[in-house]
Amino acid sequence: MSFYPQPGEWQCGPFALKHALIMHGLLVAEKDIARIAGTHWWNGTNEIQLGKAARAFNCDFLMIRKYDSEHARKELNGFLRDRIPTLLCVDEWEHWLVVVKQEKGKYILLDSEDPAVLTIVTWPQLRNRWAYHRQDEYDKDTIHTVYDLHPVVPRFRVKTQANVSIDRARYLRRKSNRALAHSWDEYLEDLLAICKARTPLSENVFSLGEFFRRHEEMILDQIDYWHGKLNRREASVILRNMHLVADTYGLVIHQEDEKRAIAGIATLLTIWAAGKYGASSIYDGERK
């Protein structure tokens, strides 16, 4: 799950589709996509197989071909403006990746061959990788350049749409933040049990950043008291990671859920602290 490199060369298709689905708030393991698609180590996954897997998760997998790079760019930009992640088969149809954002003339990719997965490239860099040179079937001396794109369009109303910016991509590319990237799905899944997506009709809500401004010190104090050896700096990093994930998906806390959110965040942080530092048994009557 989450943003980590593919372990085998043939797994790029399921990883690319997984990354597209998480942009729509769908948490799907690449192994499940590979199973549905029928991915094999000897030939990977083609667009027909990926389309089958996308439909299994209630998404359409469009198949669009352009013969001019500027036309291809405009088509891609149009889908990205609508926040539709788009799979491309690059490197002469050898590798799948997904484009999730165009910002300030640059493109944010989720490329499972890259150690950091999140990648920022210019248009010329993307164009050069995207172009496929196909020999004419009737005239072997004629080479056609094609640009295939496969937008992943949800058939449902998306509640938690990711908004990945260049700043956030650069942040996640840092080695110090790889743990967050690798655990992205876990953070999102836990936060979805506590927070809700902001909508135009949302009232009396506040961001997770505001929630932590109000309650972070109290939560850390309480867990430190319970646990006895909490590293507050490391605990604050976990809360900061939660804040980033929540902001990426526009998650907020409703005022009436504030106490429930305190309990939920405190419980998650307590479980993390017990796993990180260990915990002694309590209420068992033993004296130490």
* Two structure tokens written together for 214: 């109000």
- Structural domains in the chain plus CATH codes: 9-154 (3.90.70.10), 183-277 (no CATH)
Of the pLDDT bands very low, low, confident and very high (cuts 50, 70, 90), residue 277 is confident
Highest mean pLDDT among 108-117, 201-210, 272-281: 108-117
* Short-list 76, 198, 243, 202, CA closest to 149: 76
Rg (Cα) of the chain, in Å, rounded? Answer: 22
280: Cβ contacts below 8 Å, ≥ 6 apart = 288
Q: What is the mean pLDDT of residues 34-58?
A: 92
Give the count of alpha carbons within 13 A of 16, CB side only. 34
CA-angle at 38, arms to 33 and 43, nearest 5°: 110
> Where residue 276 falls among pLDDT bands split at 50, 70, 90?
confident
CA distances from 185 to 44, 125, 256 (A): 24, 29, 26
**147: helix, coil or strand?**
strand
Residues 6+ apart with CB under 8 A from 217: none
- Taking CA atoms, 102 is separated from 13, 123, 124, 167, 240, in Å, by 21, 9, 13, 13, 26
Kindly report, residue by residue over 222-265, the tens digit of the pLDDT. Answer: 988 887 778 899 999 999 999 999 999 999 999 999 999 999 99
Residue 273, pLDDT > 70, answer yes
Q: What is the pLDDT of residue 1?
A: 47
Q: Which of 51-55, 113-117, 133-137 has the highest mean pLDDT?
A: 51-55
- Which amino acid is located at 243 in the chain? H
Residue 71, both tokens: 């036309």
DSSP H or E run through 145 = strand 143-154
β-strand 143-154 against 86-90: which pairing, if any?
A: antiparallel
Cβ(91)–Cβ(131) under 8 Å? Answer: no
CA distance 22 to 18: 6
Report field, pTM of the whole predicted structure over 0.85: yes
> Virtual CA dihedral for 86, 90, 96, 99, nearest 10 degrees?
-30
Amino acid at position 190, single letter: D
In three-state secondary structure terms, 187 is helix
CA dihedral 169, 163, 101, 78 (to 10 degrees): 180
For 237, half-sphere exposure in the C-beta direction (CA atoms, 13 angstrom radius) is 11
Label residue 79 exposed, middle or buried (CB < 10 Å: 0-12, 13-18, 19+): buried
HEC sequence for 2-48: CCCCCCCHHHHHHHHHHHHHHHCCCCCCHHHHHHHHCCECCCECCHH
The pair phi, psi for residue 223, each rounded to 5°, is -70, -35
Question: 202 pairs with which residues across the strands?
Answer: none
